[in-house]
Amino acid sequence: MEEIVTGEAVILDLPYARFPTRMLAWLLDMLVEIVILVVILTLVAIGMATKVLNNASGAAVFIAGLVLVIVGYPIACETLSRGRSVGKLALGLRVVADDGGPVRFRQALVRGLAGAIECWTLFGVPALITSMLSARGKRLGDIFAGTFVVRERAPKAAAPFAVPASAYPGGFPGAGRQPHAAAAYIAPNLQPWAASLELSAIPEPLAASAASYLSRYGQLNETAREQLGRQLANDLAARVSPPPPAGLSPADYLYTVLAERRNRELARLMPPAGNSPLRGGAPWPAPPPTAPDYPVCSQGTTFTPPT
């Protein structure tokens, strides 16, 4: 795990990819590129055989295709898919910026140009050396671009979803009220909405950022807490449906989505037997009479997710 400090002073723990996994992803991408190059070479040969292209124009077309495949393919994939190529997608990897944010076109461009030299021209030797020396497993392209590669499909422990009670002054949803040792509490009035959520599009880095924000809620000043909470809630709401109930605060929204995500993962790992709320069994016990009404951490602040 690598500790990342974002621009909002939120600390993320992201699992960086080791060189063997990155090498396999690169080999898969190389296979895709070779297939595309073979197709281009075949078309050029057909064009030259049919006199559509002469020797000079055929060579120019092939060289242009070679550059587009070797340099353009990784740049286009990482820009359009926010850090994933075909090989990285197959192995659950993603390129992110040094602050944990999504990779930008400029960074993908630098990575693509450097990769053409260190991986194709020099057979990956510089990439191997720098990856072994770097704490984050960076190759030269990552060093120049300010990026590194993380594992999106890292093994997940069946630990409870828990946010320290100190994170929310006056209490937060579920604090000290978890009836199952590994189950996160969800408020009764939010349970029907939480059960209908579509959560498959949530990327691991975003979930980690939201969890880190909740755990450090009480450590942020009011302005940073408001701005970062709204930003994370909007980012999450863009990937989650249906939209939240009216009047829900950003922090309550983040907590409920992450709690439901955790509970579904735990339900998948649980044996079929049991009378747990996670499997539709016994309902959650009522909160203590002194528990505040929801939402509790907004202090009158709500957010409207993007349409």
Same domain, 198 and 238: yes
Same domain, 138 and 275: no
User: Does residue 152 or residue 41 have the better pLDDT?
Assistant: 41
pLDDT value at residue 28: 94
Same domain, 259 and 174: yes
Instruction: Identify the band that residue 246 occupies on the pLDDT scale cut at 50, 70 and 90.
Output: confident
Same domain, 137 and 30: yes
pLDDT value at residue 30: 92
Q: What does the pLDDT look like over 154-194, one tens digit per residue?
A: 544 433 344 444 333 344 443 333 333 356 778 888 889 99
Single-letter amino acid, residue 115: G
Same domain, 182 and 100: no
Same domain, 131 and 177: no
Let me know if residue 295 belongs to a domain: no
pLDDT value at residue 156: 45
Same domain, 30 and 146: yes
On the question of pLDDT at 300 being above 90, the answer is: no
Let me know if residue 143 belongs to a domain: yes
On the question of pLDDT at 36 being above 90, the answer is: yes
Q: The whole model's pTM is what?
A: 0.51
Single-letter amino acid, residue 176: G
SS3 97: strand
Let me know if residue 284 belongs to a domain: no
Same domain, 60 and 128: yes
Domains: count for the chain: 2
On the question of pLDDT at 218 being above 50, the answer is: yes
Q: Which domain holds residue 198?
A: 165-279
Top mean pLDDT of 137-141, 148-152, 289-293 is at 137-141
Whole-angstrom Cα distance, residue 95 to residue 75?
Answer: 11
**Closest C-alpha to 197, from 244, 233, 255, 242:** 242
